[in-house]
Amino acid sequence: YGPLSTARAFAATAGAAQPAASSREVLALDQGWRFFEGDIPFPEILSQDDSYDNAKAGKAWGAAAPSFDDSDWADVRLPHDFVSFQPIEADANRAQGYRRRGVAWYRTALRFDPADQGRHIELQIDGIATHATLWFNGTVVDRNWSGYNGITIDLTPFATFGDDLNILAIRVDAHAMEGWWYEGGGLYRPVRIVKRDPVHIITDGVYAHPVPQADGWVLPVEVTTYNSGKTAAGMMVVSTLEDAEGRVVASGQAPVSVPALEQGVARLDLAVASPRLWSVEAPSLYRVQTRLMAGDRCVDAVTTTCGFRATQFDKDKGFFLNGRPLKIKGVCVHQDHAGVGTAIPDALWDYRIRRLKELGCNAIRCTHNAPSAVVLDLCDRHGLLVMDENRQFNPSPDTLAQLEWMVRRDRNHPSVILWSVFNEEPMQGSAAGYEMVRRMAHAVKALDTTRPVTAAMNGGLFTPVNVAQAVDVVGFNYQQDKYDAFHAAHPNVPLISSEDTSAFSTRGAYVTDKDSRTIAGYDDPVKDWNTHRAAWKAIATRDFIAGGFVWTGFDYHGEPSPWGWPSNSSFYGIMDLCGFAKAAFHIHQAQWVTDRPVLALVPHWNWAGREGQPIKVMACANMEEVELFLNGRSQGRQAVDPYEMNHWMVPYAPGRLEAVGYTGGKVTARAQVETAGPAVALRLTPDRDRLRGDGLDATPIMVGAIDAQGRPVPLAQDMVTFTIEGGDIIGLGNGDPNSAAP
């Protein structure tokens, strides 16, 4: 057979202390995959013998058969989004960014050591887009119906050991779409093999979320175990709480009895008198080390993180974190990025989260699906609140299981403050919708009672029976004109803007031009729609609105409103597809940042041919006053407007445009833009100065054109080609929603 999957030891949480040694092994399956783009039809079955074989376990046909020859298939590494490699074509699906979807196959071979016999072997796939059938050694072991939920499969009954290879074949049908945005296709999230003792802690089997008490805190720990062995087992669960320095804060233990092929649950409480609290400013994390003990032997161990924080949604005063009011300054985020589609390395997610923190953002809404687990780990670590959102609005068994999986996986994260069960559903204003949400909310509360349930509603709020009556916090998508009326009609209901703004802009453009499909970045209304400034003012001036989530933090592939072809990605982002700032970035910094001076100027100052003509200049500031200078001459001093920003009309002359910010009459910040000359060189700026050589790490590198004096050239549109030594280029992007360049 071809190259084996490279199974390598993998730590799920970077930098986390490891619990006492156990038999658990976590192996990353990012290498050794064979890939075929397109479908491979199964042979037609006609004979009696073939019909008999086809009905039996281990007798899969075609590309699912263990003996199938895939030697001419492409070698790929995970994560892998095969849709991102498709050309952008006018007759493909607009919502998906004019990239064709389709069917693809993945295969890999695994060898298990004879010493693995008797162990529990589990396959973990964090996400497959979209519908998938999985065969292991010729037997169907699972079918999955969503691109956003994780899959865990017990391979123990099917595995072979020694020289016999185990063949995993996966058929992915990405024709199926769940959203109206770019969703990617294939094995776009990590895949792992986990080897454990027959008696072990199940995946997502530790629930440890602190709860405040009148005289301190308690950490309830619930541990679910499973026994794939042949005899019942009696074990002891030992949980230890450690602070960030590794000091033991509390510990406890509880017995658990686990019958053969059944689960057992142990529960214990850890009392903590005065922990360091988790907040968006100081996201203090603790580790829960949970061990499953057979006498003195540790048979399994799991490390989870937790944070001590108290949240409250108040009907009059909005959101409180640890007893203090906190306005939620959030953004909605899709899970794609320039150059890589949905196959986003962990380090690139870290870059995106840090960009949001720099923006002044303190929350994200995962739209409209459960995110990659690494996103929540990063939000825990960097201090971002999360509205965790379900994809399918449906309480039927398959889709309810997806909701339950999300809650079970994510309920330990201190960053998660809300469970959202849907977004903008047509049935939201009906009795049927109410009954559906009532069942979904009940399923959530069966797994977690510490967080409220919400739903993102864009209508139906005033019908006699609607979903607002089945949730704890009502989410408004837009409808700013209904904030006051709904609050007056339902004064006891907490409210949040689950989605707002949807303002269009093109990075670097300050003239709206339909022919070139560009939209000026001044935040002026387009089609009488919202603006960043007005949407935030409506939230900030109403205490009873807990906060809001701007649509969106970043541009995303697909949904290319308002233009359509040849535009192929959205224009909504505060940042573009690469994470580069638009003018909206500076607007929100001025509105949201309170711990440091903010002052920025737009637009650029390269307007050759418009000498003497007035150019609209906007200063975004969070101080008391701002004064504008052109080539040293004052253009006027203004009191800062914290909602609308400050504007001047300045006759263009080349040179230096400078803003000076004042607080208490003293200069507290300066910002400037200069007229640049022709581009003569490129400047490469990596996000980090080194990479781990593990085949998984990555870093974005910003490429900028500069003039002879080293100044950025804002209008440069030169074609750039790239080569690399000592690494791989996994994707390129320019952030331009109108570009079809690969």
Q: Residue 568: is it exposed, middle or buried by C-beta count within 10 angstroms (0-12/13-18/19+)?
A: buried
Question: Which residues in 415-555 belong to E strands, given as ranges?
Answer: 416-423, 453-457, 473-477, 495-501, 545-551
To the query of whether residue 499 is one of the catalytic residues in this protein, the response is: yes
- The dihedrals phi and psi of 675, each to the nearest 5 degrees, come to -70, 120
251 forms bridges with which residues in the sheet? 240
- The dihedrals phi and psi of 468, each to the nearest 5 degrees, come to -60, -25
* Total Cβ atoms within 10 A of residue 354: 14
CB of 636 closer than 8 Å to CB of 628 = yes
The residue annotated as part of the active site, out of 122, 425, 499, 559, is 499
Phi-psi region of 598 (alpha: psi -120 to 50; beta: other; left: phi over 0): beta
Tokens 């994560």 locate to 79
Determine the Cα–Cα distance for residues 615 and 3; give it in Å rounded to an integer. Answer: 61
Determine the Cα–Cα distance for residues 643 and 471; give it in Å rounded to an integer. Answer: 31
Q: Name the strands in the sheet holding 166-173, side by side, starting at the edge strand that comes first in the sequence.
A: 74-76, 33-37, 103-110, 166-173, 131-136, 139-144
Determine the Cα–Cα distance for residues 549 and 187; give it in Å rounded to an integer. Answer: 29
To the query of whether residue 627 is one of the catalytic residues in this protein, the response is: no
Q: Which helix (H) or strand (E) holds 532?
A: helix 532-540
Distances (CA, A) of 698 to 348, 605, 656, 683, 687: 7, 34, 37, 19, 10
Q: Name the strands in the sheet holding 666-674, side by side, starting at the edge strand that comes first in the sequence.
A: 633-639, 625-630, 656-663, 666-674
CB of 120 closer than 8 Å to CB of 156 = yes
Residue 32: strand, helix, or coil: coil
Tokens 């997502």 locate to 204
Q: In b/e form, how buried is each residue of 408-433, taking b as 16+ CB within 10 angstroms?
A: bbbbbbbbbbbbbbbbbbebbbbeeb
The residue annotated as part of the active site, out of 424, 627, 644, 674, is 424
Nearest to 112 by CA among 123, 98, 103, 126: 123
Nearest to 115 by CA among 159, 162, 157: 162
Determine the Cα–Cα distance for residues 548 and 332; give it in Å rounded to an integer. Answer: 9
CB of 572 closer than 8 Å to CB of 503 = yes
Tokens 């906190």 locate to 326
**Which are the catalytic amino acids?**
424, 499
